[in-house]
Chain A
Amino acid sequence: MGNEKGYLALVLHAHLPFIKHPEYPDFLEEDWFYEAMVETYIPLLNVFENLTEEGTDFRLTMSLTPPLCNMMEDPLLIERFRHYLNQRVELSQKELNRTQGTEFEGVARMYFNKFRRYQELFEHRYHGHVLEGFKKFQDMGKLEIITCCATHGYLPLMVHKESVNAQIKIAATDYRSRFGRNPRGIWLAECAYNPGDDKFLRDEGIRFFFTESHGILHGTPRPKYGIYAPVYCPQTGVAAFARDMESAQQVWSAESGYPGDPRYREFYRDLGYDLDYDYIKPYLHSDGVRRNIGMKYHKITGKVALNQKQAYDPYAAREVAAQHAGNFMFNRQKQIEYLSTIIDRKPLVVSMYDAELYGHWWYEGIDFLEYLFKKIYYDQDEIKLVTPSEYLEMYPQNQVVQPSMSSWGDKGYHDVWLNSGNDWIYRHLIKSAERMMELANKFPNASGLLRRALNQLARELVLMQSSDWAFLMTTGTAKEYSTKRTKDHIKRFNELYEQVQGNRINEAYVYELELKDSIFQQMDYNVYSSAAKETVLKKY
């Protein structure tokens, strides 16, 4: 420990549901992945590369969820992303000519330079596998990559503990195969914690997880340090770190948060709508409908109509990001200075965000992070960036507190994932889990086609458990798609279940599902057998 007064842990949660449709040449929802790649994931790697080259040390904790890792390593999605990126480079190059001598010259140049750089990183430094990049920075000790529930399953609404166990075990296995070591931490999907689930984390060697602030504030007994130090769960000793709302607010708030600055890029004014139809058509989806293509030339400007927005100035926007980074650091310094007058150890502030906020929603959020890392490293010595693992090494003694059930969703519990708009799914999720356990117990040593069918059943089950579907049904965005995905996985599961029970497995059907729902190539259905885990569900 040095002379610092306290610590800041920055945590980014990077996640997308597993969306891959090989049965279509072109699929709208796959864009979520391509956009996040070019706006968030590769730009973050670019920041890490820059900081490392110039000798700036930094610490960041990032979850890369198993569905995201599976997509990043999927040959079809890599190929499709390559095409997406090439198109961006091509269009931005054309745009250099079109915008020459106009007020958009600067922003057009920015896109061209960025896309070229991201292409260079993607193709030549990471050879199409961005996980290589993330792994490199983890191995250097600057980035701590944590895992997440296998398919972002919402644990407190799983009645069978076998389901919870499988979500953790499948995730940990996937992590080991990609990063060559145990995951030390986990991001519980939606920060949804149910007392006792820490047991399954411990069994996989996972040492810490994150909760919403009241997960610890409402813990038993009272947490001595509030949310400014982790606590250990009783019996298991797994550490829980709680979210600091004050720093969350500075970035998230629609009204007072940084992303609303008028000089930042306007998200809703997009070239997909602005440019001449014949010119832009090759860059739209095959249906030719105008949609966002991810290139935007205007700034927020103020509360004006979209057609009143003014030209974006990349240099001015970057300057604002630097100022906001300075402001964020200053506020953390003050926060930590004040906290250290109340508590008798160096306080820890945990700032947690969705990774896609940076770059995708808040375009300059990437610059903000780069400046924040630099300022913290060069300009001060009051606060120090740490990963949760580093903190636990410095402070191995922590209070034992049973955290409360909680989530980071609206109202703090399960309302978003359990309400009249989506509660119908749980009948099927729970029944499918029960059937999966039944089959795993019935066929402990399956081989050949039966084994393939059982493994595919496990894939269909975890895919239907993705909390994203219930979330999207509630928010209303992509409601149709999320409802269809849920039903598709239920139908596929039931069909395959009947085939297995009736001893009439159709190999063509299994093959089709293996192709479409190809997550977790190494899936082993035995993770659902009772021998794998004692049943915690008590039926009296």
Chain B
Amino acid sequence: MSQHVSSGSIKEPILKDPAAEADIPSGYGKTESYLLPKDPAWLFLFWEITQNTLDCIKQQYSENTLKQAHTVIRLHDITDVAFFDGTNSICYYDMPVIFEARSWYINAPQTGRTYIADLGYVTADGQFILVSRSNPTTLPPGHISNIIDDKWMIVEGDFQKLLKLAGADYIGLGSSERMHVIGERWKLTELTPSGAPSSWSSFSLHLDKVEEEDIWLKADCEIIIYGSASKNAIVTINGKEIELKEGKFSIRQPLPAGSVIDLPIHARNAKGDKTRHIQIKALREQGK
């Protein structure tokens, strides 16, 4: 079994759960976790861990063992595993997490695979103590299949033409961007509103394009600001108070091209007579 460090786990901003403010419950008093698909590369895990569950674990393991252990999400790849028993996954990935976070966005190492997320402790000697196991979730492949159907063969060049026509190069771009790209192409072919037939059709253009070795690239950027403060400190980021989970915090912030983020982070004690201040600036240059 291979073991990697996760390629990344990003915590969404710790927003105040609206449930906490209203009279809907913040939890349901049962230890459990659920794993949802978001897109080919991302999963969303949320959980509830009761004090009772934690107390049971404390009874089974020495204080020292738990003190030295760290808490993780262990993401198991169980694709094609008929019955997962906790140890027979194809591989797994550990990512550190604090249980109090209650939810986490997980960047899956591979698209198109089936995953299960275990929440638990990893002890100093490498033992895994399971706290909660999620449901399995299969992610979409996110690309054209390599499998070709013998009975429904098509000439490769023709298939590529069909893909072009369907706008396949732009899947995964925001649908508005994708529309825009197709729209640009369509605009070239737009007729005068009088309806007079044009001497050239849109499709000769497509043909020319099909021959080109066209490549594309997309990339975007978000930043994570994280840190810790004294347990009782009141921390604000950009004037907004954020919730500390065991003295830790983390927020995720989109960073569009050409934007500057300038975030003042303040901490103060309850009395308000002691303060600390850190400023974080990030600039993303306008690129093409």
Q: Give chain A's interface residues, CB within 8 Å of chain B.
A: 156-157, 159, 195, 213-214, 217-222, 224-228, 242, 244-246, 248-250, 252-253, 255-257, 320, 323-324, 326-327, 330-331, 334-335, 337-339, 342-343, 399-401, 404-406, 408-415, 418-421, 423-424, 426-428, 430-431, 483, 487, 490-491, 494, 537-540
Contacts and interface: CB of A to CB of B under 8 A. Distances in A.
A250 B167 CA distance: 14
Contacts of B103: 423
Given A217-B144, A428-B24, A431-B28, A245 B166 contact: yes
Contact of B135 (A252, A414, A428, A539): A539
Contacts of A219: 145
Contact of B145 (A221, A250, A420): A221
A218 B173 CA distance: 15
B147 A222 contact: yes
Interface of B: 12-13, 15, 17-19, 22-25, 27-28, 34, 36-40, 44, 46, 48, 83-86, 103, 116, 133, 135-136, 138-149, 151-154, 158-159, 161-163, 165-168, 171-176, 178-180, 182-184, 186-187, 189-191, 193-195, 197, 201-203, 206, 252
A257 B39 CA distance: 29
A253 B152 contact: no
A178 to B, nearest CB: 32
A218 B44 CA distance: 22
A538 B171 contact: no
Which 4 A/B pairs are nearest by Cβ-Cβ distance?
Answer: A226-B162, A420-B12, A338-B203, A413-B39
15 contacts: A195-B138, A221-B147, A222-B147, A222-B148, A222-B149, A224-B152, A226-B165, A256-B187, A337-B201, A406-B140, A411-B175, A421-B15, A428-B19, A491-B24, A538-B136
Nearest to A490: B24
Nearest to B175: A410
Contacts of A538: 135-136
B185 to A, nearest CB: 8
A222 B37 contact: no
A401 B27 CA distance: 41
A256 B13 contact: no
Contacts of A256: 183-184, 186-187, 190
B153 A224 contact: yes
B187 A414 contact: no
Given A225-B154, A420-B15, A491-B22, 11 more contacts: A217-B163, A255-B180, A405-B139, A410-B176, A419-B12, A421-B15, A426-B46, A427-B19, A487-B19, A494-B25, A540-B86
A342 B36 contact: no
B165 A246 contact: yes
Contacts of B171: 213-214, 217-218, 412
B252 A327 contact: no
A218 B162 contact: no
Contacts of A408: 175
B224 to A, nearest CB: 13
Nearest to B173: A411
Given A228-B162, A405-B140, A414 B175 contact: no
Contacts of B158: 342-343
Interface centre among B27, B135, B183 (most CB of A within 10 A): B183
Given A410-B176, A491-B23, A494-B24, A220 B145 contact: yes
A464 to B, nearest CB: 10
B178 A245 contact: yes
A494 B22 CA distance: 13
A174 B235 CA distance: 52
Nearest to A216: B166
B85 A487 contact: no
Contact of A220 (B22, B147, B165): B147
A343 B166 CA distance: 14
A229 B124 CA distance: 57
B186 A414 contact: no
A420 B13 contact: yes
A256 B183 CA distance: 6
Nearest to B102: A427
Contacts of B153: 224
Contacts of B252: 420
A225 B162 contact: yes
A400 B190 CA distance: 36
Interface centre among A225, A406, A418, A427 (most CB of B within 10 A): A427
Given A411-B39, A423-B44, A540-B116, A334 B201 contact: yes
B154 A224 contact: yes
A90 B44 CA distance: 53
A431 B30 CA distance: 10
A342 B178 contact: no
Given A157-B36, A222-B147, A399-B149, A410 B174 contact: yes
A406 B202 CA distance: 28
B186 A246 contact: yes
A441 to B, nearest CB: 17
B195 A226 contact: no
A213 B144 CA distance: 12
A252 B178 CA distance: 12
A330 B166 contact: no
B193 A323 contact: yes
A334 B188 CA distance: 14
Nearest to A253: B183
A483 B149 CA distance: 47
Contact of A249 (B148, B182, B203): B182
A249 B193 contact: no
Given A217-B168, A220-B141, A220-B147, A248 B179 contact: yes
Given A399-B149, A411-B175, A427 B46 contact: yes
A211 to B, nearest CB: 11
B18 to A, nearest CB: 6
Contacts of A217: 144, 163, 166, 168, 171
B137 to A, nearest CB: 8
A212 B85 CA distance: 36
Nearest to B171: A214
Nearest to B178: A245
A424 B27 CA distance: 11
Interface centre among B48, B83, B159 (most CB of A within 10 A): B159
A330 B182 CA distance: 17
B144 A218 contact: yes
A344 B16 CA distance: 57
Contacts of B179: 245, 248-249, 252-253
A411 to B, nearest CB: 6
Nearest to A320: B193
B140 A339 contact: no
B80 to A, nearest CB: 14
Contacts of A214: 168, 171
Contact of A409 (B19, B175, B206): B175
A487 B190 contact: no
B149 A487 contact: no
A334 B202 contact: yes
